[in-house]
Amino acid sequence: MRIYFTRHGETEWNKLGIIQGQLDSALTSEGIEMGKRLREKSKDLHFDKIYSSDLGRAYDTARLICPDREIIKTPLLREIDVGSWSGKNIKDVKVDDEVLYKKYFEDPKNYERPDGESIHDLRKRVEKFFEEAIYPNEDENILLVTHGVTIVAIYSLIEGIPIEDFWSNRVRRNGEFNIADYEDGSFKIIKKAPKNPVDSI
């Protein structure tokens, strides 16, 4: 099985440095073009199944890539829930919630918050998706349209990276394919999208 997974196209809040989490903002004109470019790049591929986060920015990107196909929406591929950080500028959070912000990036194993998810919670959610949609199936090609930190969690799962080293993979750029093969119970990374040039949550 070959897994193509991508972060949604650029959004209005991405441009402004606003943390989205499980809130949403619309794709920009460039974000729409990113989806169309991925459609062109994958025009000779047949995806046996297409899965998308049920958040609008991911689902809208999936529809741009595969406009005539059934898209399976799932909350298991949502972005991490960062509670009160959602809707705030990342620069403000870095100053106003400095201790928790540092823990998020520097001590992910012990990052907890009462109003959202821990890194452990996100990883468990991604594992559940793989147990339901990847491991039992024999599809040749599948597409996942998801989010920046969720893709970091996917890499932590398929590369066997412990939670304390979660950020050894950084958030990848919007609208670029990551590719991995899954065969006989093991994964092989074929391509990693370029890293996002700035910190993302």
Binding residues: 7-14, 57
Question: Which entry of 70, 79, 117, 159 is annotated as an active-site residue?
Answer: 79
Cα gap 136→100, rounded to integer Å: 38
Q: Nearest 5°: phi and psi at 194?
A: -60, 150
* Annotation marks residue 79 as catalytic: yes
* Annotation marks residue 8 as catalytic: yes
User: Per the annotation, where are the binding residues for substrate?
Assistant: 7-14, 57
Question: Which entry of 8, 30, 40, 106 is annotated as an active-site residue?
Answer: 8
Rounded to the nearest angstrom, the gap between the alpha carbon of residue 141 and the centroid of all alpha carbons in its chain is 18
Q: Nearest 5°: phi and psi at 166?
A: -50, -45
Which residues are the active-site residues? 8, 79
